[in-house]
Amino acid sequence: METGIANFEWPDLVMIAVGSLLLYLAIVRQFEPLLLLPIGFGAILANIPNAGFTDQGGLLYYIYHIGIETGVFPLIIFMGVGALTDFGALIANPKTLLLGAAAQFGIFATLFGALLLNLIPGFDFSMADASAIAIIGGADGPTAIFLASKLAPDLLGAIAVAAYSYMALVPIIQPPIMRALTTQAEREIKMEQLRPVSKKEKIIFPLVVLFLTILFLPAATPLVGMFCLGNLMRESGVVDRLSSTSQNELINIVTIFLGLGVGSKLSAEHFLNLETLGILALGAIAFSIGTAAGLLMAKLMGKFSKTPINPLIGAAGVSAVPMAARVANKVGLEANPHNFLLMHAMGPNVAGVLGSAVAAGVLLALVG
């Protein structure tokens, strides 16, 4: 019989339940709804027996192989993110680049964690698998998808779900870590107002970033290059239509297909295994380590800086833009109602986007 009732097996039903849970988180809890909604719906479609969505010739098959396996969709998303990003805070206070770099420590710590899991029976992560899992610590969904599609396509679904789930949980995961690693007095620190940044500086910045990437880490140029293109369109002021399209119509269209493509990898055969639980656990550890490393680096910088640095902005070094910066600002306001850290936190926040792209380039160059 060709009916769904006659062909459903319990793994299909479990994965449809997982897809339904993602829809609940997106719609009711509003956790990263732009991605979790199409991912959840794609997971449901991928697990309908005899529907053929993921078979050769099916819609999800072509979406995945054309847009994700090739890396095209994440790169277009990165261009849109670049067009949405204002580097003014980073240019005004360039030392916050160190905070974005420090927060990437979670990536490399998780790389070793994934390899250590191989000591437990049931786990068998290769170096490429471990590298793809580690990028979850960068808290950057498109980067995680891009690297996973290149190094560990079989793990793409679990890695993408972990990356976007923990990005959505930033307001829940980060505050306890921030309070545990800082004192009340440190959270109350007020920072000096940032200097104005000229239009010329904003135009030159993406060109300098791209030039340095070409010189020192060509493997990262696909991500960094598209990001810089989007930012240059924004800051140049001469292609407003292209910048607007990148920020709105184009990124929205690609986000729909990206989510459905990721959801297509949430089939029972790829997701229901012990390795998926390991990936989800490692993702939480990676994100926590990245947050803590950024905070500790900010505390260290504060001891040597002539101007006061509130260590809370270090937690924004993970590249969940702009949510991590908002969380740093919120925790700062709780400690001191007159302490506005949002613009200061945006510096390490956008630095984290570049940091995660560079980290992906390093892993791709070493393992790919």
pLDDT at position 1 over 70: no
Residue 235: band (very low, low, confident or very high) from pLDDT cuts 50, 70, 90: very high
Q: What is the DSSP string of 177-225?
A: HHHHHS-HHHHTPPPPPPPP--HHHHHHHHHHHHHHHHHH-GGGHHHHH
What are 336's two structure tokens?
Answer: 């001191």
- pLDDT higher than threshold 80 for residue 294: yes
Of 283, 55, 58, nearest to 157 (Cα)?
Answer: 283
Average pLDDT estimate for 192-216 = 96
- List strand residue ranges (DSSP E) for the chain, in order: none
User: DSSP E strands: which ranges in 51-189?
Assistant: none
> Is a pLDDT exceeding 90 seen at residue 227?
yes
pLDDT of 117 higher than 80: yes
- Residue 4: per-residue pLDDT: 58
- Rounded to an integer, the average pLDDT of 147-163 is 92
Is pLDDT at 164 greater than 90 in this prediction?
no
Structure tokens at 234: 């924004």
Q: What is the mean pLDDT of residues 341-353?
A: 95
pLDDT at 5: 67
- Classify burial at 185, counting beta carbons within 10 Å of its beta carbon; exposed 0-12, middle 13-18, buried 19 or more: exposed
Average pLDDT of the chain, as a whole number: 92
Domain extents in the chain: 86-239+266-367
Per-residue pLDDT at 56 exceeds 70 = yes
pLDDT, one tens digit per residue, over 67-115 is 999 999 999 999 999 999 999 999 999 999 999 999 999 998 899 999 9
Helix H or strand E segment including 25: helix 10-27
Distances (CA, A) of 215 to 180, 207, 208, 211, 368: 40, 12, 11, 6, 19
Residue type, 237: G
Kind plus residue range of the DSSP H or E element containing 68 = none
| pLDDT classification of 2: cutoffs 50, 70, 90 | low
Q: Taking the model in full, what pTM does it have?
A: 0.91
Q: Are 262 and 157 in contact (CB under 8 A)?
A: yes
Report percent pLDDT > 90 for the chain.
Answer: 77
- The continuous run of DSSP H or E covering 257 comes out as helix 251-263
Distance between CA atoms of 275 and 272, rounded to whole angstroms?
8
What's the rounded mean pLDDT across residues 270-283?
A: 88
Position 340 pLDDT exceeds 80: yes
User: Rounded CA gap, 135 and 114, in Å?
Assistant: 11
- Binned at pLDDT 50, 70 and 90, residue 267 comes out as confident
| Residue 206 scores a pLDDT above 90 | yes
pLDDT in tens, 237-251: 999 999 999 999 999
Assess whether pLDDT exceeds 80 at residue 181: yes
| Cβ(107)–Cβ(256) below 8 Å | no
What average pLDDT does range 185-202 have in this prediction? 95
